């Protein structure tokens, strides 16, 4: 080994549910040219992780790429890392699922490459580390994983070692620390600066996403057409920087420093998973340089926070865990649930993630398969969530608000009510136009008592005069039968300057394959104001791009239409005032504002003096 050792590790990933053309573009701009460049520079030893979903896609679409990787492995130029089958965050899973995820990934490697491949290192998804992961990885035969400087700092140790050792109970795992400068600046900085930084160390590690090597804006031309990547590799070799595998580093450090690492992830993940208000407060109170120099202290988020920060994520996650335990004996359903543990749809940083409807579809798919296998009737997920199933549909009802988080269609493999709340994000301050947020979670069949009917624009701006809020009420269950369940809640509402006690009762049931909701409104005193309404909504998946039946001011039938998924018909027992509004969220993608259509929402205005009302929803 020469003066400076350089471990060059790349992680390539595409999630289940991503569009073929998106993956193909990334393959052509990043994955393929990188392997071609490595073939032309045989001195570059590379440690490569390819996620399970991407491996499955490559096997189907580009076997020639797999053959190129296999040749590099045989030549001793490339080593593979282990991982999870679906790129799941292993810390969030029960032990049974952890073991299955790891075993299924190993089987995938054996099937696609060779049974003789010995996976020594493990790619930890999003580097989400909890101490108990050590036991899981060691029990599966892994020796090391890559973690960030943030993890080392949180252990209370200094960044002065090339290898660390961390224990959990009687298990030991080697930790190889990723160099922050290289993760952010390689290969974008000039080769002289990169070489200077590398040569400050005896050994240095680069481990980062492969998509930056070509798929990021401008990178394909810069790295491959201009040959900058191969030139950088040659410059590193010429400066006595030796490309090595982790085994070499481990052998040269037989007595690594022992540290205890608490929960952590990389710096940005710890930031993104924080409550938005807390994050904004930090950036207001402290200057950027101080935060940057000590981000492990300031950014105290936790990946598990995403299940709270985004209730849509938490709901899907809780159901996945429940069904994973319930159907542990069913291999087909279990595999679908493991696929739906793919991390990408559960969280959000600056772009994509849970804000992409097709990613929410992907992580919900396992739940759809599981619900299709439930007996007809009621299944209790936990004390706050119930599934009601009959025929080709299942509805998930939450006690908070007595509302619907999903109506899953087994035939279409789709949550008809897939949407997300318009929430503030820390980066919204960088978007110049005004952004409106929802006052409460956006979820179907949840109600405000309002003082007026409103226009689409006023609805989006929350200008509807709230006089009572049933969205945040914890409803009581008053009746459960085989095919129906009834909830009720009481609220004091300020109507015409008088407090009125209103009891709202909602009954959910099926009539054959039609899902029904019955409303019953009881008041402590008569309300003379005819402009007071119970405002409820149905947030239809954005694939239902067209609506009909709303050409007049009032209607008793609305049809939502999708080219791919057919019609959803909403019948009302009486004519109501309605409006149809597109719900969009704002994210940043490649430094530009990206508006994402989340749902086509139907808003219904039920007169507060109407004692009862029934909605019937059927899919054709």
pLDDT digits (tens, 9 = 90+) for 123-146: 999 999 999 999 999 999 999 999
Percent of the chain with pLDDT over 70: 99
CATH number at residue 530: 2.70.98.10
Residue 530 region by backbone torsions, left for phi larger than 0, else alpha for psi between -120 and 50, else beta = alpha
Q: Is residue 70 part of a domain?
A: yes
CATH number at residue 236: 3.20.110.20
Cα–Cα distances (Å) from 64 to 35, 109, 217, in that order, read 11, 16, 26
- Residue 296 — very low, low, confident or very high, per pLDDT cuts 50/70/90? low
Q: Is residue 400 part of a domain?
A: no
Instruction: Point out which residues pair with 536 in neighbouring strands.
Output: 604
Residue 589 predicted with pLDDT over 90: no
**Total tally of structural domains belonging to the chain:** 2
The predicted structure's pLDDT at residue 1: 46
Q: Of 51, 46, 83, which is closest to residue 68 (Cα–Cα)?
A: 46
The range of the structural domain enclosing residue 134 comes to 4-265
Residue, of 315 and 482, whose pLDDT is higher: 315
For residue range 350-368, list pLDDT tens digits in order: 889 999 999 999 999 999 9
Domain end residue (candidates: 265, 289, 313): 265
Cα–Cα distances (Å) from 594 to 49, 276, 310, in that order, read 30, 19, 19
The predicted structure's pLDDT at residue 2: 54
Beta 257-258 vs 78-80: how paired, if at all?
A: unpaired
- Asked whether 4 and 201 are in contact (CB, 8 A), the reply is yes
Cα–Cα distances (Å) from 103 to 137, 368, 618, in that order, read 11, 24, 41
Q: Is residue 393 part of a domain?
A: no
Q: Is residue 421 part of a domain?
A: no
CA–CA distance, 139 with 341 (Å, rounded to integer): 21
Q: Is residue 433 part of a domain?
A: yes
Domain end residue (candidates: 243, 265, 287): 265
Domain end residue (candidates: 265, 291, 321): 265
- Output b/e per residue, 241-264; b: 16+ Cβ within 10 A: bbbbbbebbbeebeebbebebebb
Q: Is residue 485 part of a domain?
A: yes
pTM: predicted TM-score of the whole model, two decimal places = 0.95
Average of per-residue pLDDT across 588-594: 83
CA–CA distance, 283 with 426 (Å, rounded to integer): 9
For residue range 567-576, list pLDDT tens digits in order: 999 999 999 9
Q: Is residue 554 part of a domain?
A: yes
- Tell me how far apart the terminal alpha carbons of the chain are, to the nearest angstrom: 67
**Please, which residues have CB within 8 angstroms of residue 549's CB and are 6 or more apart in sequence?**
555, 557, 558, 559
For residue range 502-528, list pLDDT tens digits in order: 999 999 999 988 999 999 999 998 888
For residue range 384-443, list pLDDT tens digits in order: 999 999 999 999 999 999 999 999 999 999 999 999 999 999 999 888 889 999 999 999
For residue range 87-102, list pLDDT tens digits in order: 999 999 999 999 999 9
Q: Is residue 409 part of a domain?
A: no
């Amino acid at each position: 080994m020469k003066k400076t050792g350089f471990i060059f590790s790349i992680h390539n990933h595409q999630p289940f549910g991503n569009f073929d053309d998106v993956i193909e573009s990334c393959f052509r701009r990043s994955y393929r040219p990188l392997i071609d460049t490595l073939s032309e520079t045989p001195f570059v030893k590379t440690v490569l992780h390819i996620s399970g979903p991407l491996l499955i896609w490559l096997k189907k679409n580009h076997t020639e790429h797999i053959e190129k990787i296999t040749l590099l492995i045989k030549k001793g130029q490339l080593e593979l890392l282990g991982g999870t089958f679906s790129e799941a965050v292993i810390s969030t899973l029960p032990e049974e699922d952890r073991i299955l995820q790891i075993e299924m990934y190993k089987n995938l490697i054996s099937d696609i490459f060779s049974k003789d491949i010995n996976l020594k290192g493990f790619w930890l998804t999003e580097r989400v580390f909890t101490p108990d992961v050590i036991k899981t990885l060691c029990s599966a035969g892994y020796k090391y994983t890559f973690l960030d400087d943030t993890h080392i700092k949180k252990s209370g140790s200094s960044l002065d070692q090339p290898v660390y050792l961390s224990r959990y109970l009687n298990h030991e795992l080697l930790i190889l620390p990723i160099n922050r400068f290289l993760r952010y600046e390689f290969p974008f900085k000039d080769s002289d600066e990169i070489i200077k930084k590398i040569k400050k160390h005896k050994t240095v590690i680069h481990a980062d996403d492969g998509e930056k090597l070509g798929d990021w804006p401008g990178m394909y031309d810069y790295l491959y057409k201009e040959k900058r990547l191969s030139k950088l590799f040659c410059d590193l070799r010429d400066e006595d920087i030796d490309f090595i595998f982790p085994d070499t580093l481990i052998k040269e450090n037989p007595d690594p420093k022992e540290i205890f690492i608490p929960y952590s992830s990389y710096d940005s993940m710890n930031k993104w998973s924080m409550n938005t208000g807390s994050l904004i407060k930090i950036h207001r109170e402290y200057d950027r340089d101080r935060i940057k120099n000590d981000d492990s202290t300031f950014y105290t988020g936790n990946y598990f926070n995403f299940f709270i920060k985004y209730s849509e994520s938490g709901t899907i996650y809780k159901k996945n865990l429940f069904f994973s335990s319930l159907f542990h004996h069913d291999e087909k359903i279990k595999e679908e649930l493991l696929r739906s543990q793919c991390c990408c749809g559960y969280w959000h940083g600056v772009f994509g993630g849970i804000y992409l409807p097709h990613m929410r579809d992907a992580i919900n798919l396992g739940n759809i398969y599981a619900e299709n296998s439930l007996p007809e009737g009621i299944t209790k997920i936990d004390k706050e969530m119930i599934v009601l199933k009959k025929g080709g549909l299942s509805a998930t009802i939450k006690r908070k608000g007595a509302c619907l988080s999903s109506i899953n269609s087994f035939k279409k493999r789709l949550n008809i009510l897939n949407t997300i709340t318009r929430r503030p994000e820390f980066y919204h301050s960088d978007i110049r136009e005004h952004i409106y947020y929802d006052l409460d979670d956006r979820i179907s069949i949840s109600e405000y008592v309002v003082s007026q009917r409103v226009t689409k624009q006023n609805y989006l701006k929350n200008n509807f005069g709230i006089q009572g809020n049933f969205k945040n009420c914890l409803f009581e269950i008053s009746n459960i039968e085989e095919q129906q369940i009834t909830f009720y809640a009481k609220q004091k509402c300020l109507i015409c300057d008088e407090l009125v006690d209103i009891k709202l009762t909602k009954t959910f049931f099926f009539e054959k394959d039609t899902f029904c909701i019955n409303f019953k409104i009881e008041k402590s005193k008569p309300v003379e104001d005819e402009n007071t309404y119970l405002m409820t909504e149905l947030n239809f998946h954005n694939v239902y791009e067209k609506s009909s039946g709303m050409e007049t001011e009032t209607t008793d039938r609305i049809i939502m239409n999708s080219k791919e998924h057919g019609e959803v018909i909403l019948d009302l027992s009486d004519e109501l005032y309605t409006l149809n509004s597109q719900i969009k969220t704002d994210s940043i993608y490649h430094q530009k504002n990206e508006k994402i259509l989340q749902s086509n929402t139907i808003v219904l205005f039920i007169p507060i003096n109407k004692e009862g009302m029934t909605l019937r929803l059927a899919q054709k």
